[in-house]
């Protein structure tokens, strides 16, 4: 079975009507540029210039749209672990601003020291009363 062409960033299937991929084509799911080195069959991260084509001059940014005339989209360009930094940053921002607050793994409970401190304060100052007959008179 032939694999579908998927976005290099999010893994969404690139629809047939989006092909051939023009220089300004974007993923409909994550809005990532599609005419990029990361989606090209010549993209080889282990090589110095990241491109195994003899005549191609690799652009500085491999995740932004470029004018490479040797661009040929490849299946399997999506690697789930590689987008982790973006995802973790987005999750952190959403948690910070309350969209998806992180769920605590254990319910919060007061520390034993806090309970003892509260009991000591109540003993010293009395619970809710201003004069318990043991301290200085009110002025």
pTM above the 0.85 mark?
Answer: no
**Res. 87: pLDDT tops 60:** yes
Q: What mean pLDDT is predicted for residues 32-54?
A: 82
Does residue 107 have a pLDDT over 80?
no
**Residue 53 near residue 43, CB atoms below 8 Å:** no
Q: Find the mean pLDDT for residues 41-54.
A: 78
Model confidence over 17-29: pLDDT tens digits?
A: 777 888 889 998 8
The pLDDT of residue 34 is 92
């Amino acid at each position: 079975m032939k694999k579908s062409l998927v976005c290099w960033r999010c893994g969404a299937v690139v629809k047939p009507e989006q092909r051939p991929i023009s220089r300004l084509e974007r993923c409909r799911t994550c809005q990532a540029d599609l005419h990029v080195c990361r989606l090209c069959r010549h993209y080889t991260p282990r090589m110095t210039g990241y491109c195994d084509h003899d005549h191609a001059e690799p652009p500085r940014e491999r995740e932004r749209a470029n004018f490479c005339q040797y661009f040929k989209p490849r299946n399997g360009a999506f690697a789930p672990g590689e987008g982790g930094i973006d995802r973790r940053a987005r999750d952190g921002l959403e948690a910070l601003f309350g969209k998806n607050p992180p769920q605590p793994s254990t319910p919060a409970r007061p520390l034993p020291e806090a309970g003892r401190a509260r009991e000591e304060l109540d003993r010293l100052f009395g619970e809710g009363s201003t004069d318990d007959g043991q301290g200085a008179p009110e002025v």
